[in-house]
Structure 1
């Protein structure tokens, strides 16, 4: 009997405890969770780009936050970008993709100096990390200013130190162990240059031809781009199109720049990531350009100011020197005069002009003529031996011009005829005197 009462009392105490436990389980008031139902430990893997383009567009990449547990959690990402001390404002940009808004949001970067380095720091908003982990999309750029307001000096150095830290969403819920990562990202720029430039150009002559190459080795896209070739402002610069036609480029000058800039692709052009463009260019210089050396200098401008050419982030490359030479002088030829005597080793004398009416043009004399006649020295009869010529008659033989009417027997025949004529006159005069004297005697 006593044993039976003890069993009943034990049963009475056990039933309320079991009933209470069943009621608590049915009401969901059990807060204990198994040990594996935790968020962590988290992990961080950063897939940072190796290169970003100087003054180019942003480059997208991801950071993976791993969560091996079966419970989600929330975190924030803090960033620090370390660069050269001379980094100007608005030189860096960082965005993250927000799942809450479904778009890109900027990270508000605050700059501070640390020794000889500049640090831009900022963070994201709330980032949910579900069980199994998530990827956070980021994009980093070095725009060197705002659109159409690029920095004209300063830089970010050859590389950036990019640091990421994962922190709890609540200040009293730090991530343990701490998650940090640092990557070095190189900064490279777009370049242009010239190749195959001839060493000389003739002023006023044919143009010289060469290639102008624009290379973008970076993963950044470039917009608001000016691909410019500088040379003498009086030069004529042409670019060959895809259809083979040549287009004359307008020179752009400023008061501060003696040379002119020629936009090979126009203003506000673009260049895709990892691209290379080659333009065939020809340049000619005016005929009145002074001989000497002139330069061909290629430069790239990014985010030029509106209406302000050549003001923006500037990257120039080594150019080429061209020596402008004067054109070759044209050969001058003197035409041979008409009727020039054949060469006899003695220059032909210049005949005198006088009453004989000679025009200075003398034909070649016969080979039998005396040397005096070949030299133009004509012997005349003495004036005392020649009778006076009646008015209107032809001039005496000694006064006639020497020309092509000379006989081939030489000047002796002319002298003999002159003497014979004078002798005949004297004989006639003597006969007349003899006849007059005889008539007087007869009478």
Structure 2
């Protein structure tokens, strides 16, 4: 089946709008082309975007041997370890995913509540009062420190300090404007230690060395009694009672750090933007926090009671998804929602557009958290973490942390937007975040 039969779509110049203003680009494509359109980038096989709900369902429930998520994710391999489960397809993906699942079940996630709260409180205590400052970098600092402690299991010793410094320097490169181009192989040019990719390569080697030394130390000393994700992976055994290779664990750690750090921080920044621009919602959320805490400390016993805060988070992820689409590369020709697609293309169900379909979401542009209190939403109409067998492993971890951080902010400070500021989406690494770091002004509450 020739690629020429694909749905129409924007030309190359128009496609650059996806980088400059992704949400406007998607809105314009939907208005012009409807539920299906093709995005073409030189050197990359076409992406067929769809916002048809029946197509989303068929992709989620489709044959994983015919719909390769790992292959579609391959451009992200520049930022994360290519041997992680994110870049694998069935059955290799399922085998590795099963080893990761225990680290992200409910009780295990709840065991990290204190670390999440402490990271939030330490950051909030450093915020300037009465002065404008960008809050998105603060969210990144919170998620970074949480993952260092709960996922990597590093403390404030010399090794932990060295790892923090190397990872921060590496992620600053990845989240820069030039770093976003590293998904294109042609941009990965090592022209020495002062070139962007060359610097990233050398920092990656530093991080690898730190991690491999830590793997050896923990294997020697034992990981019994440790609750961090890294120690659980070191203890994991496959069906043949063999441990995961160190190279695979290293790549999984990169993926968990970058995916969990950048995307969760961007989501929290969007939540804050929605709260400060909807004062009635913010006061209702603050009232719930006060009612739940009753001057007590937020911990695993009361996080689950923050129903309205969770609804605010979900409604924000509906309107402001930090990842606007996901992809599946077709290994053979398929008919999806009545449309014939050839092998080799990547079908890209569009989270952003599906979340705005009026037949699924009445008054779709209205910010209304009550949607998530009144009814349980279909996984084919609300899927900020993807879906099916490839739903994000860290979804529960991310949502749990967001509830804790947002609740702590509501309990401890008042926030208002900087005068004249209006948020737009801008790319930060693998995620879309509010422009200019989301400038806010904080005043002390307690």
The normalised TM-score by structure 2 is: 0.20
Structure with a larger share of its residues in strand: 1
Q: Normalized per residue, which structure has more helix? A: 2
Larger RCO (CA under 8 A, 6+ residues apart): 2
